[in-house]
């Protein structure tokens, strides 16, 4: 029996990442803020990101995560939660919604690759300096 590789779905302005239902099993902190998603995927954010709430009216605060200064402790809140949706916008932005109600957002950086993702079958997406994405689809 061959294992089905989750689909990376392209739309007009975004890519739907194949992370729905995966759990954040590890948080990595070095020069970036990283999330390991089960043993299937990984997200690494090298620039500033924000952590807020999907229902902003209930909890309006948004916290800035700054990996360069290792100011990412608020990001620990998504540990052991499930990904409800993960979207890479063709503009270079990233949005991940978690079962805890948190939403993590990262914007493109004018000079650097702000974030990267990797997933099943060799899938990889990189936010390019100045905006846009480089996309490597999964191998069958």
Alpha helix positions (H), 43-97: none
Could you tell me the residue range of the domain that residue 33 belongs to? 9-134
Distance CA 86, CA 94 (A): 8
Prediction pTM value: 0.91
Residue 2 domain-assigned (yes or no)? no
Residue 63 domain-assigned (yes or no)? yes
Distance CA 14, CA 89 (A): 4
Residue 62 domain-assigned (yes or no)? yes
pLDDT digits (tens, 9 = 90+) for 83-121: 999 999 999 999 999 999 999 999 999 999 999 999 988
pLDDT at position 68, please? Answer: 82
Q: How many domains does the chain have?
A: 1
**The tokens of 62 are what?**
């948004």
Residue 30 domain-assigned (yes or no)? yes
Residue 139 domain-assigned (yes or no)? no
Residue 140 domain-assigned (yes or no)? no
């Amino acid at each position: 029996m061959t294992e089905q590789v989750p689909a990376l779905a392209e739309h007009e302005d975004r890519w739907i990442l194949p992370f729905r239902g995966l759990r954040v099993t590890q948080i990595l902190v070095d020069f970036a803020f990283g999330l390991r998603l089960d043993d299937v995927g990984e997200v690494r954010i090298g620039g500033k990101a924000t952590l807020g709430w999907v229902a902003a009216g209930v909890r309006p605060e948004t916290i800035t995560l700054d990996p360069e200064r290792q100011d990412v402790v608020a990001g620990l809140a998504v540990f052991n939660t499930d990904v409800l949706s993960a979207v890479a916008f063709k503009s270079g932005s990233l949005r991940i919604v978690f079962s805890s109600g948190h939403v993590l957002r990262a914007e493109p950086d004018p000079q650097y690759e702000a974030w990267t993702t990797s997933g099943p079958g060799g899938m990889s997406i990189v936010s390019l300096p100045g905006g846009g994405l480089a996309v490597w689809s999964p191998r069958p």
